Amino acid sequence: MKSFGIIAVLALTGAANAQYSYTGSTITENFDGLLSAASPFSATVGLQATIPGLVWVGAKIAGSGTAVMPYTTDNVGSGNSGGIYNYGLAAGGDRALGSLGSGSNTPAFGVAIVNNSGSAITEFSLSFNSEQYRSSTSSQNFLTFAWGTSATATDSDFLTSAGMAANVLGDVIGDNPVAANGGLVPNISIRSYALTITGLNVGVGDRIYIRWSDFNDIGNDAGLAIDDLSFSAVPTPGTTALLCLAGLAGLRRRRA
C-alpha cells in the first residue's frame, strides 16, 4: 500500500463541462453511459481528458511511459495494462468506472460538483459500491480517495485524503493475476462504502472535488472500479428556514 497525504494530482477544473450541477437533489451515477472509445488521454503527467460518455475526467498522474495512457473497455477483466477502464459484463449494459496502475501509467479519475443549490454547503455525503475485475499478486491493492473544495483546493491541485473510509479495497491476491469479473456477486464480493465530510463552507458557484488515484503497487496490480455512486449535501443551517419565513411574509403581504 502506498502512503497518501496531500499531493498534487488531477486538476479537475481544466476539462470543459467536466462537472455535475448540485441543485439540492441527490446526484446519482451508475456509469452505464460510459462509451467505448479510443484513448483520449495524453502521455503528459497531469494533463486530463473527459472520460467518454461522462462528465468525469481522467489523467495520468505518474509513470515512466511516453505513450498515451489507454482508456479500455473490458468486459471480463482480462486487461493487464495500466490505464483507465470501462469495466462491465460481457452481456448487458451494467458498467463501472475503474483503473489499473502500472509503472508506465498511474491513473486517476474524478469529477467536480458545482454548488448551484442557492445555499452554502456545510457537509456532503458520498456512497458507492466497488467492484473488482482483476486480482493482484503481491499486495492488497487500493484506489485512494481524496476530496477538496474550491476554497481549500483552488484548481484542485491539492486534495485531502479521507483516510480508509472511501479507499476502494481489493479482495483477491493470487500467485497469478486472474480476471475476477467483478460485476458477478458469486465470483467476488461487491463492497459498499459511505462517508460524510463535515465542517465545510462551500458557497454558491463553488466546487467540491472527488477523486480516486490508482498507484502502482508491488507485483501485478488489481483492476478495481466504482459503481452506483450517490452524492448529497446539507445547506447552511437556517438558510432553508429563512427562505420559508420570507415566503410566508410575502404571502401575508399579498393577503393584507
SS in 3 state form for 141-208?
Answer: CEEEEEEEECCCCHHHCECEECHHHHCEECCCECCCCCECCCCCCCCCCCEEEEEEECCCCECCCCEE
Residue 184 pLDDT > 70: no
Determine, yes or no, domain membership for 186: yes
Given this model, what pLDDT does residue 217 score? 76
Copy the grid coordinates of residue 101. Answer: 496502475
Identify the H or E element spanning 250: helix 239-255
Burial 223-238 (b: 16+ CB within 10 A, else e): bbbbbbbebbbbbbee
Given this model, what pLDDT does residue 239 score? 41
Given this model, what pLDDT does residue 155 score? 45
Determine, yes or no, domain membership for 3: no
Determine, yes or no, domain membership for 27: yes
Task: Give the rounded percent of residues in the chain with a pLDDT score beyond 90.
Answer: 44
Residue 166 pLDDT > 80: no
Confidence band of 164 (pLDDT split at 50, 70, 90): low
Residue numbers of the domain that contains 144: 12-255
Read off the pLDDT of residues 21-41 as tens digits, 9 standing for 90 and up: 999 999 999 999 999 988 889
Q: What is the mean pLDDT of residues 226-245?
A: 67
Given this model, what pLDDT does residue 80 score? 87
Determine, yes or no, domain membership for 217: yes
Read off the pLDDT of residues 72-131 as tens digits, 9 standing for 90 and up: 998 878 888 999 999 987 666 789 999 999 999 999 999 999 999 999 999 999 999 988
Determine, yes or no, domain membership for 157: yes
Question: β-strands 71-74, 83-88: how paired?
Answer: parallel
Higher pLDDT: 115 or 177? It is: 115
Residue 254 pLDDT > 70: no
Task: Give the rounded percent of residues in the chain with a pLDDT score beyond 70.
Answer: 73
pTM of structure = 0.82
Given this model, what pLDDT does residue 188 score? 62
Determine, yes or no, domain membership for 219: yes
Q: Angle 4-52-76 (CA atoms, 0-180°, nearest 5)?
A: 75
Q: What is the mean pLDDT of residues 128-157?
A: 78
CB 238 within 8 A of CB 154: no
Mean pLDDT of the chain: 79
d(CA 174, CA 184): 19
Q: What is the mean pLDDT of residues 164-187?
A: 67
Identify the H or E element spanning 16: none
Higher pLDDT: 135 or 243? It is: 135
- How many structural domains comprise the chain? 1
